[in-house]
Structure 1
Amino acid sequence: MEKLRWNPKWGSLVGLLAVGFFLVFFFVGASSQKTPVRKILRSTNHRELNKSLRVQLLTKEPRREVIIDNGIVQVTLSSPDGFVTGIKYHGIDNVLENKNEDDNRGYWDVVWYEPGKGGGINIDKLKCTDFRVITVNEDQVEVSFTRKWNIKLRGSQAPLNVDKRFIVRRGSSGFYYYAILEREEGWPDVDMDQIRIVFKLQQDMFHVMAIKDGSQRTMPMMEDRESGQPLAYPEAVLLTNPINQQLRGEVDDKYQYSLENKDNRVHGWMTTDDTPVGFWMITPSDEFRSGGPIKQDLTSHVGPTVLNMFTSTHYGGKDINTEYRNGEAWKKVLGPSFVYLNSGSSTDDNLALWEDAKNQMFIQVKSWPYNFIKSEDFPKHYQRGSVFGQLKVHDRYMNKTLMGADSAYVGLAAPGDVGSFQIETKGYQFWTKANKKGYFSITNVREGNYSLYAWVPGVIGDFKYKYNVTVTPGSRINLEVMVYEPPRNGPTLWEIGIPDRSAAEFFIPDAYPTLMNHLYTSNPDKFRQYGLWERYTDLYRNEDLKYTIGVSDYTRDWFFAQVTRNIGNKTYEATTWQIIFKLKNWKNTGNYKLQLALAAATQSDVQVRFNNANTADSSLFSTGLIGKDNAIARHGIHGLYKLYSIDVPSDQLQRGSNILYLTQSRHIGPFQGVMYDYIRLEGPPGT
């Protein structure tokens, strides 16, 4: 693979700094002018002084452009809007789609609306009004595009102050970007469902997409979707006559390419030329993303489109939208992230570009937090703190002694209730994974007041530390030993599944041969296939699932989602699953306990009955209407985690054979249903 290095010959440093000082002064003055600059300004090209870095402001009516260039990558931005209109690299004048308008190539956007106003959802592309150069020196150029909000703009713009930043650095094959978004006290109520950045690449060049190891493929074109057959869910399209006929009969759906935050470090696209080029989105930290480490979101998809999702309601619905009420003030730095470009020789294949992109990702992760960011809102390493300790689990029915919280996810997020981190979207989150003994270390934490949350694979429920944790610059906070006591009533009588917040261990059917995405035919993520919810009706056409404890195997006999049954004519009916079990030592005193953990729920109501199949009778327990995560339709295998610890009076059971009935009673359409994470029946205490 071609090594992307630049070895500039530096001239007089004093002269360069003088030029830089003059340039900053000049640009700040130019950006504050009320009338457009009408002449072409000389750039800080100065090839004799520095062959790597330059910043250039051009005016060619009716448009103005800012160009930042390090000799490897040249980025063109509209001024003062702050849209990325061009990226020049490796002989390609623009890797972005030239046919698109300036605000539809590389842009931020926010999906927002004012609650209670009765209007529709708005999309604000954060078009700015002012430009300035933050810094220019022998190592980097950083530029800023800003806008200020005021009450006169109400209804036309999201109520946000915006500062969009772009950086090129010497010898770097790419550029960095971040945004500082702010609400001032007293501003109107607003809901923001989504914040992201988008890059749309040349359609005729980029054809191969990669999102993780084992998940790279030649993708369809946008016109293939437009000519295809829309399916039951809007984003899903059957490719009926694609340009690449090898894709004929496949399904394309952008949600098939979702990843969890913890795994979403690098993704992107590659060309198929003799000398291939790659365009990669590298996100070295999750601190500015919402919902915690297993929150799922979009990555790359047909377009060719590359995304970085910072907040969204995907896989959670309105439960995880961002609401601002009563004039609440807010400020957050989203990013920085890195757009990386690489290229190969004629002997290299796409896998080589992918491996190189992964290597670059590791470099960026190791460099976090970046020390070259010029905003005071982004703290350096020495301005951050760390929190460490050990988490143990006390469950006397699993082990009489304390157990190390093996591989526990431990994190700091805004103070809240137990488990509230998964619906928290406004603040920063910092997560790590404990070792086998439960030791953990959370580093590079921003100054602030946090709750410490955790959960342990193999153990039900959520842990929250009893005190808030206040992090100050340079602090090292040792929480020593913390003990999590998971919900427990008595000994385990039987269990189904693995308590890991996912339904992936259950039976996932093969996709319909006519509705496949061949990326997932031999992929562990086969749950990403389209239409699996309809397979339930095929397998259980006349009666619902029955599972016998001690006989059935949940990997073969427990369908991954309890969905509705299609009975034809766009009509669906509720389903009732049975768990058949025996109690040899039934006692008529004391309560039993049913631990019911859900991995996902969409507009569902799960009703629990023992030894009573009549759904017309009142149930022992009902969740009520729950869930908006849409994980079934969007191939997610999990959404928001919910745990119900249900008291089961002994008179509900009997010695010998028993049946637990689980009814999902809502049945308006095909996507209502739940995914179970884990089910356990416990005996009375002391048994």
Structure 2
Amino acid sequence: MQAENVDCHGIHGMTSNGRRAKASQGVKLHVQDKHVIVNNGILRVTISKPDGFITGVKYNGISNLLETRNEEYNRGYWDLVWSQAGSTGTTGISDNMKATSFRVVVENEEQVELSFVRQYDNSQEGKMVPLNIDMRFIMLRDCSGFYSYGIYEHLPEWPAFNLPQTRIVFRLRKDKFRYMAVSDDRQRYMPLPDDRLPGRGEPLAYPEAVLLVHPVEPEFKGEVDDKYQYSCENKDLNVHGWICSDPPTGFWQITPSNEFRSGGLLKQNLTSHVGPTTLAMLISAHYGGEDLVLKLQPGEPWKKMFGPVFFYVNSAAKGDELKSLWEDAKEQMTSEVHNWPYNFPASDDFEGSDQRGDVSGRLLVGDTYFADGLIPAKGAYVGLALPGESGSWQTEVKGYQFWTTTDLGGYFSINNVRTGNYNLYAFVPHFIGDYMFEDSISITSGCQINMGDIVYRPPRDGPTLWEIGMPDRTAMGFYIPDVDPRYSNPLCLNGPDRFRQYGLWERYADLYPDGDLVYTVGQSDYAKDWYFVQVNRKVSDGTYKGTTWQIKFEMDNVNQAATYKLRLALAAANVAQLEVRVNKQVTEPPLFATGVIGKDNAIARHGIHGLYRLFTVDIPGSRLAAGENTIYLSQTMSSTPLQGIMYDYIRLEGASS
């Protein structure tokens, strides 16, 4: 199989007239005793044999972009975390996936593809993850980078097990790569990994967060370093990486498709962080907890292909490296997305465009209390994922997902869908809840399925009496405080990333020292008066106490015989329990309780959301009064400061007319 129509030429190849130059040679493979070397005249990649660890990347006059101080297995590699069936939590046994066999899949001047395989050994039950693992690496002619993908397979006769995490990791040279870029507004010179060590760094509430007290470079003193401050939603996680200033060189991870990532398009993942480290997260439980752990049951077969992911290198003229290298990386990302699905992977497990299908249609919204008749669901997210229940896509980790957004007319087209059976899911900004089409959809090679008009009728029983927030599945629209100046990261001081600062959960007690939040409908402004997260309060003996927030509102008339609906859309929950009471703060049992919900850990990990949850509370009219009323929202789990709830949106509906 040969590569066609692939544009992977970087800034390194720019000529004086702006055209991209070609390399002078095809792809060459050199197989040695303990290593294989692939070279296309632009870069040279060295991989240990048969282990499958990338030990060296030579480019732009730099003998190795990877950290040479590290052992060969700790430079560029795939790894995973697994645990035995029945285990709970999101941790387990770390496995660097050392392969045991090597073969050349494709070798010609246009392309080299290599396979590094480790097969499951039944005699190692309980000691070895029960998977066959095939790690592939591809280099193309005239391409300023290389690709990697992996194929995982579990046979039904093998033991059941859990898979909390798998990823691709690159550890770059700390003496070279000091500038990190995750997005247009999240890029900066970074501290050194040495700054996190004892004596230079002071551990904070959890190991990932370190206060830099005596950094090597004084400019970083007083900053917090925390890898979770650089996390990103899958839908925005296409390119990130690092820049070396001398010589000006970029190393970028480009992920052209989200189809093989777990958890759907809103799943948040780690990107790059101090190391300098760059990650391609493929399965992870971050921002969801155990709900996002892949659990294979006894007798369950499973096979999935992750990738290809592209690792791109580029260079620039001295003095212009930061902007030009980042802009070129984004341009390259656009090219990779355009060329997806690729036509060069040699594995039969990768389906090309001619083997895939398309689904199109129009999504409308029917909410008679919002508008007369049906309206186009503009800007909605529509996707295909394994069959499940409404909203189950956000915890789906075994299969593939395919998402798109609707245009102003509500029209959508989901292209290049792998064959298989799916449900069609959707959610619409400004409307609560999740949509799922009632019948499953079978995708076959070359199919073009038109769904016609489909209608989402969001939960609604009566007119809106009042509302707090705007439904977008995040807590973004609520009040986010300034960071305690002792714990700042300058990258997140202003703008939309203010919520990424460390320790904001402690700022609640600073702003509400004598009592909890009270919100008065018609007077309060949720952007200023509704704290973005309901957290616990630290008391004098050093323990924590749950908090109770109040919503005060007036009602002119109350139908005592009717039932009113309180809609509570939650953006995140971390080992929390929400209890709802009406007009009596102390009453048992509460009118409504969620039970203990969530292990999102979004509070500690600077996420403005975790998993979305929607609850409906029936309020009998007999509980309400003409005049002033109060709804009490109590978060009762209080063993740590990091338990709590983020709200997305709250609405009280009147009696159905």
TM-score, structure 2 as length reference: 0.96
Cα offset, 1:6, TM superposition: 5.2
* Alignment partner, residue 212 of structure 1: 183
Correspondent of 1:136 among 77, 100, 107: 107
1:370-425 deviation digits (Å, cap 9, x = unpaired): 01111100011000000000010100000111011111100000000110000000
CA contact (8 A) 1:528 1:635 kept: yes
Q: Does 1:420 align with 2:369?
A: no
2: distance between equivalents of 1:350 and 1:148?
43
Cα offset, 1:52, TM superposition: 2.6
2:22 maps to amino acid: N
CA contact (8 A) 2:578 2:593 kept: yes
1:7 maps to amino acid: K
* Alignment partner, residue 237 of structure 2: 264
Cα offset, 1:150, TM superposition: 2.4
2: distance between equivalents of 1:437 and 1:569?
58
Cα offset, 1:148, TM superposition: 1.1
Q: Per the alignment, do residues 56 and 594 of structure 1 end up closer, same or farther by CA in structure 2, a change over 3 Å counting?
A: same
* Alignment partner, residue 661 of structure 1: 632
Alignment map for 1:230-629 (pairs within 5 Å) = 230-273=203-246, 275-614=247-586, 616-629=587-600
1:510 maps to amino acid: D
* Alignment partner, residue 4 of structure 2: none
CA contact (8 A) 2:249 2:321 kept: no
Correspondent of 2:28 among 47, 51, 54: 54
1:79-134 deviation digits (Å, cap 9, x = unpaired): 00101010010111110001111110001111001034799820111111111111
Q: Over aligned residues, Cα RMSD in angstroms?
A: 1.2
Cα offset, 1:522, TM superposition: 2.1
Q: Per the alignment, do residues 569 and 270 of structure 1 end up closer, same or farther by CA in structure 2, a change over 3 Å counting?
A: farther
CA contact (8 A) 2:13 2:22 kept: no
CA contact (8 A) 1:193 1:313 kept: yes
1:152-200 deviation digits (Å, cap 9, x = unpaired): 1222221110111001111110001100010011211101100101000
Q: Paired residues, what number?
A: 639
Cα offset, 1:2, TM superposition: 4.2
1:51-90 deviation digits (Å, cap 9, x = unpaired): 231011112xxxx001111110111000001010100101
Task: Work out which of the two has the higher radius of gyration on C-alpha atoms and give 1 or 2.
Answer: 1
1: distance between equivalents of 2:79 and 2:125?
17
Q: Secondary structure at the match of 1:525?
A: helix
Structure 2 unaligned regions, length at least 5: 1-10, 15-19
1:265 maps to amino acid: N
Alignment map for 1:110-125 (pairs within 5 Å) = 110-116=80-86, 121-125=92-96
CA contact (8 A) 2:579 2:591 kept: yes
1:332-382 deviation digits (Å, cap 9, x = unpaired): 000001000001111313111100100000000000000111110001100
Cα offset, 1:659, TM superposition: 0.3
2: distance between equivalents of 1:604 and 1:426?
27
1: distance between equivalents of 2:310 and 2:124?
32
Q: Does 1:69 align with 2:39?
A: yes
* Alignment partner, residue 13 of structure 1: none
Correspondent of 1:159 among 125, 130, 145: 130
Larger mean Cα displacement after TM superposition, 448-457 or 181-190: 181-190
TM-score, structure 1 as length reference: 0.92
CA contact (8 A) 1:2 1:345 kept: no
* Alignment partner, residue 48 of structure 1: none
Structure 1 unaligned regions, length at least 5: 10-50
**Structure 1 residue runs of 4+, over 2 Å off?**
1-9, 115-120
2: distance between equivalents of 1:351 and 1:240?
30
1:595-637 deviation digits (Å, cap 9, x = unpaired): 00000000000000110011x5210000000000000010001
1:525-560 deviation digits (Å, cap 9, x = unpaired): 110000000000101111000000000000000000
Aligned identity (percent) is: 54
Alignment map for 1:84-99 (pairs within 5 Å) = 84-99=54-69
CA contact (8 A) 1:6 1:72 kept: no
Q: Per the alignment, do residues 170 and 118 of structure 1 end up closer, same or farther by CA in structure 2, a change over 3 Å counting?
A: closer
CA contact (8 A) 1:286 1:429 kept: yes
Q: Secondary structure at the match of 2:81?
A: strand
1: distance between equivalents of 2:550 and 2:495?
31
